[in-house]
Amino acid sequence: MASSSSNLISLKTSDGTVFKVERALAKTMKTVQAIIEEADANIYMIPIHNVFSHHMDMIIDYYKLSVAGKSKEFSVEKLDNDELKDFLLAVHYLNMEDLFEVLTQAVADRLEKKSVGYVRKYFGIENDFTPEEYAAIRKKNDWAFKGDDIEPEEDEEKQEE
């Protein structure tokens, strides 16, 4: 068993900050846990790529709330959509189950009424439909585009109803 001299694990974020976290918190990060288990000797510091210090702050917040049984109080409201995506990618990299469920649901809630165009940009996906194919699938799902609160498509805004 790889043992450190204390019950704290040192994690170094992409921006160079070192966080000393409880072993129990490190255990919720499957990626980190795998690194610890694979190491034959004591690990002094674990670098976590793609994770910045502001992500770690929120992760620690979430951890403290869930230990106190108050995980429902955790909120990402103050993050805009791109910051939320960023955070989700960090948590995805760290492979943290519970927080992952919370964040994927939060992203889904943000995207619910968005346009197809917005979603493509958000996911970094290019349209691979030909114009004919797009017209066909657009028509097939036309009912899903109707609704006052659904974001209109950029290229369709010009057409008259």
Partner 1 sequence: MASKDIKVSNHIPNDLAFSILSKLPIVSIKRFSCVHKSWALLFQNPNFLSAVGKNFISQYNSFYDDTCLMLKRTQGYDNRCVFDMLSGERFENRVRLDLPLPFQDDDTCIQILGSSINGIICLYQEGDHSKIVLWKPTAKEFTIIPSDNVNYLPYSTTLTKTHGFGYDSVSDDYKVIRHATLFERDTDSRSRNYLEGYRLYISKSVGKFWEIYSMRSNSWRKLDIDMPLRINESVVVYMNGMCHWWGIKVGKEYVVSFDLSNDVFLTTPTPLDMCDNSNLGMVERHLVVLNMSISLISNYAMNTTFHISVLGQLGVRESWTKLFIVGPLLGVEHPIGVGKRGNIFFRKENYKLAYLDLSTEIIEEIGIQGESHFCQIVIYKS
CA dist., res. 36 & res. 2, Å (int): 7
CA dist., res. 39 & res. 131, Å (int): 53
CA dist., res. 91 & res. 14, Å (int): 14
Which residues in 84-114 are b (16+ Cβ under 10 Å) and which e? bbbbbebbeebebeebeebbeebbeebeeee
How many residues sit close enough to partner 1 to count as binding (CB under 8 A)? Answer: 37
Chain positions 104 to 143 lying near partner 1, rule: CB under 8 A, are: 104-105, 107-108, 111-113, 116, 119-120, 122-129, 133-134, 137-138, 140-141, 143
Shortest separation between residue 118's beta carbon and partner 1, angstroms: 10
- Most distant pair of Cα atoms in the chain: their distance: 70
Asked if 82 interacts with partner 1 (CB under 8 A), we say yes
The single residue among 25, 26, 88, 99 that binds partner 1, judged by CB under 8 A, is: 88
Angle formed at CA 17 by CA 16 and CA 20, multiple of 5 degrees:
135
Shortest separation between residue 50's beta carbon and partner 1, angstroms: 10
Asked if 92 interacts with partner 1 (CB under 8 A), we say yes
By CB under 8 A, name the binding residues for partner 1.
Answer: 82, 85-86, 88-89, 92, 100, 104-105, 107-108, 111-113, 116, 119-120, 122-129, 133-134, 137-138, 140-141, 143-147, 150
